[in-house]
Structure 1
Amino acid sequence: MAAPKKHPIPKAKRFSAGTLTAETALALVKKHARGKFAKSSTARAAKRFIEERAAGDRADSDLLHFVGRLTLEEVTLGRRPRIGLLIVEGDLVVKGRYEDSLDPESVVIVTGSLRARDVITRGFLEVHGDLVASQSILFLDNDACGEVFGDVRAPFVYTNQHAVKVHGDVKARLVTGDDKHIRSAGKHVFIEETDRRVRELLSPKLLKVFADEVFEDEEGEEVDPEDPWIDAIDTEKLTAFIRRGGSALAQKSPVRRKKK
């Protein structure tokens, strides 16, 4: 017989274990869900999940509450054991990839900062501190939204029909995708996918993944692969590349010191 799978957050209070009740979870959402973006979608989604789970629906998804700094190797909320609601009172630090879920829907509230190698968010995400990735942050799909009360910082930030409000600044080497869905208090430089600078900034390995589809002219005709033109980024291929740990951006050329 195979050993039972270890829970990814063993010290968290869980509805499935009876250490967290629906009433307590609702009180936690009322206390910690500060977002006002999109008429408090995060709070509404969290309450909806708690009520459904208490009624016996979505039995394959759990709700969890953790107090303190939470450090994990990886977070993938759509993978079993699934997490429908996660509330972290403190910082959430993920050594690898953080990825929440839209199908099934997930809600994450972090009262501190969230740091990871890569962030892929399709669900409801509310971060009271900074959202920081050492490689990439992808905001994907339009059925949920995000709100960050601090800064968003990563070398590569990509948005695709996912509304996110940033109360601080967006700091990145490249922000691309669709600019209208990311709103920040501070100004950030957004570069359209079709701008030749995007191809120049992306890593050769990622460009090789895209090569069959994205290098087209406005009429849909194939062009010379050396011509720096990107018609559109294939979101699914980009996501798969990031999941494998790939770096979306080319490495910066080393700075040569001038001889004295």
Structure 2
Amino acid sequence: MQRLSDGSLSPEGVPALLKRTVRGRFAQSSTLRAARRFVEERLEGGRKDSDIVHHEGRLVLEELTTGKRPRLGLLIVEGDLHLKGRYEDSLDPESVVIVTGTLRAGDVITRGFLEVQGELLAERSILFLDNDACCEVFGDVRAPFVYTSSHAVKVHGGVEARLVTGDGKHIRSARKHTFIEETEREVRDLLSPKLLKRFADEMFEDEEGEEVDPDEPWIDAIDTEKLAAYVRRGQPVLAEAPPSRRRK
């Protein structure tokens, strides 16, 4: 693993590294543009608390959080990135992550710039949050739960999940997928009862503002911060799936 901070990655080699590894051009504020901006700021003496890291080959970690110290402003993995726990990048401070292979994690929370040239896979949940960055995935996105809130996402493959909800107009995929508005009762029925209790303030009014039976709540809007905090604890967002019936 090469780092700018310890001199194992030379400043002169970073622009060529970007040119070799970044493929995407999605969204007005693309990942490549964000990466170039960060590199320029970092090499001019700014963002000194955020490192540039390059790894060749498969990288396996317990978890990765770019906003924790030592912070990662730019991470390039030429190969697969596997996290046994959570992957979480950030927008403040801004981060750019490029994975030329597959990114696999227990959970994924992305607010920053993320490009995955293979598949994006999560054991439990994938959250695309905030509107100032973007994500581009060249393969499939697969997880039991996929949620997007004002975050531009382009998927060149398909999106496979038990539930895809949130802000549907911001996630685009080459293959059609089923999207359910978060206000639909079906979403409530699919979510974990433990999670629903955390959304109580958003759930106990009907469309006219009248109180309703708390045993039959509907969700006006999902609180993304409560959702992210729940996912960080490694909790499953969805209710346990009913057992499948065997044919006689």
TM range (shorter): over 0.9
Output the CA distance in 1 between the equivalents of 2:201 and 2:142: 31
Answer whether contact 2:25 2:32 (CA < 8 A) is retained. Answer: no
Answer whether contact 1:88 1:110 (CA < 8 A) is retained. Answer: yes
Moved over 6 A (4+): none
- Once the two structures are superposed, residues 106-155 of structure 1 have per-residue CA deviations (whole angstroms, 9 ceiling, x without a partner) of 00000000000100000000000000001000000000000000000000
Within the candidate set 9, 14, 24, 2:3 is matched to 14
Output the CA distance in 1 between the equivalents of 2:235 and 2:25: 34
Output the CA distance in 2 between the equivalents of 1:52 and 1:173: 41
Contiguous gaps of at least 5 residues in structure 1: 1-11
Answer whether contact 1:169 1:188 (CA < 8 A) is retained. Answer: yes
* Match runs of 1:41-190 below 5 Å: 41-190=30-179
Identity over aligned pairs, percent: 73
Output the CA distance in 2 between the equivalents of 1:203 and 1:88: 34
The residue identity in structure 2 corresponding to 1:36 is R
SS at match of 1:239: helix
Shift of the alpha carbon at 1:254? 1.8
The residue identity in structure 1 corresponding to 2:181 is E
Q: Which residue of 2 aligns with 1:6?
A: none
The residue identity in structure 2 corresponding to 1:223 is V
Q: Which residue of 2 aligns with 1:202?
A: 191
Answer whether contact 1:106 1:124 (CA < 8 A) is retained. Answer: yes
Answer whether contact 1:200 1:228 (CA < 8 A) is retained. Answer: no
Answer whether contact 1:161 1:178 (CA < 8 A) is retained. Answer: yes
Output the CA distance in 1 between the equivalents of 2:114 and 2:12: 21
How many residue pairs get aligned? The number is 248
Output the CA distance in 2 between the equivalents of 1:62 and 1:213: 39
The residue identity in structure 1 corresponding to 2:162 is R
Shift in CA distance, 39/229, structure 1 to aligned 2, threshold 3 Å: closer
CA RMSD of aligned residues (A): 1.2
- Once the two structures are superposed, residues 217-244 of structure 1 have per-residue CA deviations (whole angstroms, 9 ceiling, x without a partner) of 2233332112241111011100000011
Output the CA distance in 1 between the equivalents of 2:107 and 2:208: 34
Shift of the alpha carbon at 1:256? 4.1
Within the candidate set 211, 219, 243, 2:200 is matched to 211
Output the CA distance in 2 between the equivalents of 1:239 and 1:103: 15
- Once the two structures are superposed, residues 60-98 of structure 1 have per-residue CA deviations (whole angstroms, 9 ceiling, x without a partner) of 000000000000000000010100000000000000000
Answer whether contact 1:65 1:87 (CA < 8 A) is retained. Answer: yes
Q: What TM-score comes out, normalization by structure 1 length?
A: 0.93
Q: What TM-score comes out, normalization by structure 2 length?
A: 0.97
Shift of the alpha carbon at 1:39? 4.7
Shift of the alpha carbon at 1:255? 2.5
Contiguous gaps of at least 5 residues in structure 2: none
